[in-house]
């Protein structure tokens, strides 16, 4: 913490004490490094975080237990440990390589956000949807990007559409064979932020049987820089998404420790029970509904991805081949890359 001057950085919303107070039974550890690593040491920086996660889980093995399947989540829960799953937040981690994607899966990564706040050479991020954006566009998912989705389906790695552009969302939902996730996004109809999910896309998620995990990021909840919102505002997003996708396709994706501010009443991971109590008080949420919201739905999506992957692996070979060199050059990503495998022009 002191070496990297993080002691005065983003506020911490998570520790063992507060996880226990919040009755958290499982969580995705979001593995993330800044977009500036792309094309340089992105893969290294993500691997270092996986190493750190492994060391924390080993050090506190009475509290945390790594999980890579829905059944392993349930097993950890049964012995009162916090199921710990790995998610890579940003496709820059794989440096446009099927091999690295597969190796991340072998290391336990079970979802990958296709982008963070930067394009990959094969998928657009949400900021290309801003009015008058001058960012380079792939116009959604490229042909190479479609192969990434196919390989993720084959592996059983969840495709995460939080952070991507609307066209990328649509492109993925049109080709994926497995249910997708939005790991931390909210409802565009209630807050028209580019990071949120529009109603027409929500209808596609329902058809896909995926899940939208509602985030607590204030600006995605209220669209107001001076109003961080409350549990009531977060519940409104949950209810809106539920009304469109159904009770089986909504979840929670707080984004704790990834944000600077939180809504009032949801200041850290210990406050989840306040949200659940509020939903129950509304009268239209049953205990079975709550069980789906807080974990049942994401476990269903995981199991479906696992089942589909098992079938695909019977007939489908791993994806091979290189991304087109020109696609790397557009983003100026060739300086730190050995290009010997590309034919000379």
Mean pLDDT in residue range 213-238: 98
User: Residue 334: pLDDT above 90?
Assistant: yes
pLDDT at 344: 74
Mean pLDDT in residue range 295-319: 98
Q: How confident is the model at residue 84 (pLDDT cuts 50, 70, 90)?
A: very high
User: Residue 10: pLDDT above 90?
Assistant: no
4-18, 170-184, 211-225, 241-255: which has the minimum mean pLDDT? Answer: 4-18
Which residues, 6+ apart, have CB-to-CB distance to 145 below 8 Å? Answer: 114, 120, 122, 123, 138, 168, 171
**Nearest alpha-carbon partner for 52 in 84, 25, 74:** 84
What tens digit of pLDDT does each residue of 31-78 get?
999 999 999 999 999 999 999 999 999 999 999 999 999 999 999 999
Share of the chain above pLDDT 90, in %: 94
Beta strand segments in the chain, E:
26-31, 64-66, 82-89, 109-113, 158-160, 181-182, 211-214, 250-252
What tokens were used for 335? 């300086």
3-state helix, strand, coil in the chain (%, to 5): 45, 15, 40
Q: How confident is the model at residue 345 (pLDDT cuts 50, 70, 90)?
A: low
Domains of the chain (ranges; CATH) run 22-318 (3.20.20.140)
Q: Is 57 within 8 Å of 27 (Cβ atoms)?
A: no
What tokens were used for 192? 């028209």
User: Residue 19: pLDDT above 90?
Assistant: yes
> Residue with structure tokens 């060391």?
55
Share of the chain above pLDDT 70, in %: 97
What is the average pLDDT value for the chain, to the nearest integer?
96
pLDDT at 9: 62
Mean pLDDT in residue range 152-165: 98
> What's the pTM?
0.96
What is the Cα–Cα distance from 13 to 254, expressed in whole angstroms? Answer: 10
Mean pLDDT in residue range 278-307: 98
CB atoms within 10 A of CB 97: 14
Which residues, 6+ apart, have CB-to-CB distance to 343 below 8 Å? Answer: none
**Nearest alpha-carbon partner for 160 in 201, 124, 211:** 211
What is the Cα–Cα distance from 65 to 108, expressed in whole angstroms? Answer: 12
């Amino acid at each position: 913490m002191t070496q990297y001057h993080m002691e005065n950085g983003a506020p911490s919303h998570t520790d063992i004490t507060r996880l226990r107070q919040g009755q958290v039974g499982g969580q995705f550890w979001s593995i993330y490094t800044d977009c500036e690593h792309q094309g340089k040491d992105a893969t290294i920086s993500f691997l270092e975080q996986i190493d750190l996660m492994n060391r924390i889980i080993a050090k506190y093995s009475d509290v945390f237990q790594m999980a890579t399947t829905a059944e392993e989540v349930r097993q950890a829960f049964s012995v009162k440990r916090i199921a710990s799953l790995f998610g890579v937040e940003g496709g820059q981690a794989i440096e446009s390589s099927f091999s690295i994607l597969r190796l991340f899966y072998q290391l336990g990564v079970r979802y990958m956000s296709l982008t963070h706040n930067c394009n990959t050479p094969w998928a657009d991020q949400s900021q290309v949807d801003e009015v008058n954006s001058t960012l380079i566009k792939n116009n959604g998912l490229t042909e190479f990007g479609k192969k990434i989705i196919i390989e993720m389906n084959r592996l059983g790695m969840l495709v995460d559409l939080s952070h991507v552009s609307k066209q990328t969302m649509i492109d993925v939902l049109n080709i994926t064979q497995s249910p997708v996730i939005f790991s931390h996004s909210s409802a565009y109809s209630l807050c028209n932020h580019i990071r949120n999910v529009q109603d027409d896309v929500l209808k596609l998620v329902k058809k896909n049987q995926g899940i939208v995990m509602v985030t607590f990021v204030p600006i995605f909840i209220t669209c107001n820089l001076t109003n961080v919102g409350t549990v009531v505002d977060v519940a409104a997003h949950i209810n809106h998404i539920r009304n469109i996708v159904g009770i089986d396709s909504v979840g929670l994706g707080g984004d704790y420790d990834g944000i600077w501010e939180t809504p009032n009443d949801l200041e850290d991971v210990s406050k989840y029970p306040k949200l659940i109590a509020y939903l129950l008080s509304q009268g239209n949420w049953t205990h079975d509904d709550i069980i789906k919201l807080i974990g049942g739905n994401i476990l269903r999506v995981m199991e479906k991805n696992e089942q589909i992957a098992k079938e695909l692996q019977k007939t489908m070979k791993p994806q091979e081949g290189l991304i087109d060199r020109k696609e790397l050059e557009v983003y100026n990503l060739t300086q730190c890359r050995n290009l010997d495998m590309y034919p000379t022009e």
